[in-house]
């Protein structure tokens, strides 16, 4: 097989590429867009709920301060309430994101590994189990 001449190389270069041969950007993948959108929506909803809960808690504190009601037990219960609100929000976000991973088939059918909250997009990109390396049954 002989090497193509310069003119043949130019002619091959000028040919229009086949649309099926072009590489697509991984960011254009509809599955990744859907997963990224769901994760972003979960973050926005949880942020809004957290702000509302903290604002209501602050309103109760201001009301008690306005009424000059002072109690060590009230202060302790308010501190416990803030910690509970924050902890509950974190727990809720983790559960919702794990549900997204399950819904999109990112749980390994071989070993049962479920990607962590920070690894959901990575698992969807590679479409392989991080633990055993088998292909994921992505829905």
pLDDT by residue, tens only, the chain of 139 residues: 677 776 676 666 565 555 555 555 555 678 889 999 999 999 999 999 999 999 999 999 899 888 888 888 988 999 999 999 999 999 999 999 999 999 998 998 889 899 988 899 988 888 888 888 888 887 7
| Domain span at 62 | 42-89
Contact 134, 108 (CB under 8 A): yes
- 81 and 108 co-located in one domain: no
The pTM score is 0.72
CA distance 105 to 55: 37
Please report whether residue 5 resides in a domain.
no
Q: Please, are residues 4 and 12 in contact by the beta-carbon 8 Å criterion?
A: yes
Number of domains in the chain: 2
Strand segments, DSSP code E, in the chain are: none
Residue 57 lies in a domain: yes
Assess whether 83 and 50 both reside in one domain. yes
Q: Report the sign of the C-alpha dihedral through residues 73, 76, 82, 87, in that order.
A: negative
What values do phi and psi take at 116, rounded to 5? -70, 170
């Amino acid at each position: 097989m002989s090497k193509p001449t310069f003119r043949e190389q130019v002619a091959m270069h000028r040919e229009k590429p086949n649309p099926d041969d072009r590489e697509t950007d991984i960011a254009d993948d509809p599955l990744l867009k859907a997963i990224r959108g769901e994760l972003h929506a979960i973050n926005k909803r949880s942020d809004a709920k957290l702000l509302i809960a903290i604002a209501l808690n602050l309103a109760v504190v201001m009301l008690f301060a306005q009424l000059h009601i002072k109690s060590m037990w009230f202060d302790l219960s308010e501190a416990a309430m803030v910690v509970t609100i924050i902890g509950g929000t974190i727990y809720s976000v983790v559960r919702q994101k794990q549900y997204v991973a399950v819904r999109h088939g990112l749980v390994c059918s071989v070993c049962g590994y479920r990607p962590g909250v920070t690894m959901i997009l990575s698992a969807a990109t590679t479409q392989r189990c991080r633990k055993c390396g088998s292909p994921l049954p992505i829905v």
